[in-house]
């Protein structure tokens, strides 16, 4: 039985954060030390990000708001609302993203309508409320009240993979199942000013966005590219439980990026891939670069640099991840879905259509997936160019700050 991701759509809020403008705001915050100011400049400038999106409408330098809660544009000061205040914004604005992405995915799935959906799986780690986003999506899209609902919460950047793996299992158990998977994250709710390198790096990376997919094993025609969900694997690295975490504080959620995270990824990425690639005999003995597509969660630029170097991949193979990072930033669990959509939208080539995908998160957890692009249209090959997409330029970090940012995962 082949389980197919039939549609994949994304949604982002309207407010755009331009990276140099955000950098200047963070660098000008009161209480920032001279070292903190330098770290802000280095982290933002070397992030590989040009634009990000936020559901917090106040986070703009182009419009002032009366009685600001998150950002006072008048004196360019980042404020410190309570976790309750931040979560109230999550409940309102997050619901909008969940519903928008879900509706777009349903509309794009040929031969499937709202009455066909049997399961809804929602994913998020940036807020909580009940009845939750799974309930809101069922009501907003007019799904059957008998739809089975599941919410995967607080897992972090890798959580799209457990959601897709669950969808595959549902479809294998019931060939008539239609599963709607939606991931929505409002990471920008939790940014703050700080002299802590971990917090500075997080502020330079995190953003808001949502992605949704329709998954089914039903025998229906495809009118465009889709993904066969072949295999999934999970690996917990031997070390790293305290090195990456996502905790709840009084003034929002707090990310922990320990000093050993880059070393963990560098040392254990090969081992994490072994059980996944062992699932397919046709991949045995191949160089990693012979798998055409790599959908890597762009948790940060240094993660992509390490993956590219360790696996011997080409710059072109990391373009979908780097373009996602450049245009959207790190949207936690939704980000790898944006990378997969980038790959789906590329013209087909004469090479293989296998996709190896990876994401890293608290634990330290490495989630991997092996997929196959299918259903490409005949015109795709004729439209193919040399693929010379924009690749971000080299990092420009002052030598004395490089070790500090490296320890913080930048």
- pLDDT tens digits, residue range 113-172? 999 999 999 999 999 999 999 999 999 999 999 999 999 999 999 999 999 999 999 999
Helices 95-108 & 133-141 angle (0-180, nearest 10)? 50
pLDDT over 50 at 384, yes or no: no
Query: For residue 258, what pLDDT is reported?
Result: 54
Domains of the chain: 226-377 (3.40.47.10)
pLDDT of residue 385: 38
Does the pLDDT value for residue 355 go beyond 70? Answer: yes
pLDDT at residue 240 greater than cutoff 90:
no
Q: How far apart are CA 400 and CA 58, in angstroms?
A: 34
Phi, psi of 355 (to 5 degrees): -130, 125
| pLDDT the model gives residue 381 | 38
Does 388 score more than 50 pLDDT? no
Residues 6+ apart with CB under 8 A from 13: 53, 54, 55, 93, 97, 208, 209
| Residue 318 backbone dihedrals phi, psi, to 5 degrees | -100, 0
**pLDDT value at residue 376:** 64
Per-residue pLDDT band for 394 (boundaries 50, 70, 90) equals very low
Query: DSSP E strands: which ranges in 350-393?
Result: 354-361, 365-374
The CB-side HSE value for 357 (13 A sphere, CA atoms) comes to 35
E-strand ranges in 159-317 read: 178-186, 208-216, 226-236, 244-249, 252-257, 293-296
The average pLDDT across 46-72 equals 93
**pLDDT of 343:** 96
In the chain, the percentage of residues whose pLDDT exceeds 70 is 87
- For residue range 218-233, what is the model confidence (pLDDT) as tens digits? 999 998 899 999 999 9
The confidence score (pLDDT) of residue 383 equals 43
Of 223 and 93, the one with more pLDDT = 93
pLDDT band at residue 262, thresholds of 50, 70 and 90? low
Tell me the C-alpha distance between 144 and 149, whole Å: 11
Q: What was the pLDDT predicted at 286? A: 93
Q: Which residue has the tokens 């990276």?
A: 19
| Local confidence band at 389 (pLDDT 50, 70, 90 cut-offs) | very low
Q: Is 80 exceeded by the pLDDT of residue 102?
A: yes
pLDDT of residue 59: 92
DSSP state of 190: G
pLDDT of residue 387: 41
- % of residues, the chain, pLDDT over 90: 74
Two structure tokens written together for 102:
């879900």
Pair type for strands 77-78 and 119-124: unpaired
Question: What are the catalytic residues?
Answer: 157
Helix intervals (H) in 128-215? 133-141, 160-173, 197-205
**Host H or E run for residue 107:** helix 95-108
Phi and psi, residue 394, nearest 5°: -65, 155
**Per-residue pLDDT tens over the stretch 317-340:** 999 999 999 999 999 999 999 999
Residue positions counted in the chain: 410
379 or 165: which leads in pLDDT: 165
CA–CA separation, 338 and 366 (whole Å): 18
Q: SS3 of 382, please?
A: helix
User: What is the token pair recorded at 342?
Assistant: 């980038």
pLDDT range class, residue 187, cuts 50, 70, 90: very high
pLDDT score recorded for residue 144: 98
Instruction: Supply the mean pLDDT for the chain.
Output: 90
Of 164, 106, 97, residue with least CA distance to 133: 97
Kindly state the average pLDDT of the residues 261-289. Answer: 89
- Vertex 126 angle, CA 97 and 327, to 5°: 60
For the record, the structure tokens of 312 come out as 């011997």
Radius of gyration of the chain (CA): 21
pLDDT at residue 303 in the model: 87
pLDDT band at 363 (very low <50, low <70, confident <90, very high): confident
Q: Is residue 405 pLDDT above 70, yes or no?
A: no
Higher pLDDT, 385 or 228: 228
Q: Tell me the C-alpha distance between 231 and 396, whole Å.
A: 38
Task: Tell which wins on pLDDT, 61 or 173.
Answer: 173
DSSP class of 409: T
Q: Can you read off the two tokens belonging to residue 359?
A: 């994401």
The Cα 379–Cα 404 span in angstroms is 49
**192 touches 340 (CB < 8 A):** no
Q: Which two tokens stand for residue 90?
A: 């999550």
In sequence order, which residues have a C-beta less than 8 Å from that of residue 29 and are 6 or more positions away?
77, 78, 193
Give the best-scoring range by mean pLDDT among 12-26, 53-67, 372-386: 12-26
Of 399, 289, 302, nearest in space to 360 by CA:
302
């Amino acid at each position: 039985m082949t389980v197919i991701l039939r549609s994949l759509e994304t949604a982002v809020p309207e407010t755009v954060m331009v990276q140099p403008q955000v950098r200047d705001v963070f660098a000008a915050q009161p209480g920032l030390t001279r070292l903190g100011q330098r770290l802000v400049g280095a982290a933002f400038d070397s992030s590989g990000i040009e634009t990000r999106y936020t559901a917090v409408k106040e986070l703009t330098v182009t419009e002032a708001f009366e009685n600001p809660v998150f950002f006072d544009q008048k004196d360019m000061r980042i404020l410190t609302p309570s976790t309750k205040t931040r979560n109230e914004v999550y409940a309102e604005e997050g619901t909008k993203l969940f519903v928008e992405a879900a509706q777009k995915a349903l509309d794009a799935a040929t031969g499937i309508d709202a009455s066909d959906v049997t399961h809804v799986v929602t994913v998020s780690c940036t807020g909580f409320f009940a009845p939750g986003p799974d309930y809101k999506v069922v009501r907003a899209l007019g799904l059957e009240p008998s739809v089975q609902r599941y919410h995967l919460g607080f897992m972090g950047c890798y959580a799209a993979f457990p959601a897709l793996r669950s969808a595959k299992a549902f479809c294998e158990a019931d060939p008539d199942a239609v599963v709607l998977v939606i991931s929505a994250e409002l990471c920008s709710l939790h940014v703050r000013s700080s002299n802590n390198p971990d917090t500075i790096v997080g502020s330079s990376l995190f953003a808001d966005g949502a992605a949704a997919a329709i998954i089914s094993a039903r025998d229906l025609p495809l009118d465009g590219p889709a993904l066969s969900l072949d295999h999934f694997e999970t690996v917990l690295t031997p070390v790293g439980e305290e090195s990456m975490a996502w905790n709840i504080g009084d003034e929002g959620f707090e990310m922990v990026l320990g000093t050993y995270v880059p070393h963990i990824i560098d040392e254990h990425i090969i081992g994490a891939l072994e059980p996944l690639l062992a699932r397919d005999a046709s991949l045995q003995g191949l160089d990693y670069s012979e798998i055409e597509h790599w959908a890597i969660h762009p948790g940060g630029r240094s993660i992509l640099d390490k993956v590219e170097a360790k696996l011997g991949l080409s710059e072109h193979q990391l373009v979908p991840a780097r373009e996602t990072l450049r245009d959207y930033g790190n949207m936690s669990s939704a980000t790898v879905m944006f990378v997969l959509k980038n790959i789906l939208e590329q013209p087909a080539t004469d090479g293989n259509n296998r996709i190896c995908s990876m994401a890293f998160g608290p634990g330290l957890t490495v989630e991997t997936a092996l997929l196959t692009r299918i259903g490409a249209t005949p015109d795709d090959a004729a439209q193919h160019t040399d693929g010379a997409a924009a690749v971000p330029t080299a990092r420009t970090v002052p030598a004395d700050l490089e070790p500090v940012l490296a320890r913080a995962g930048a």
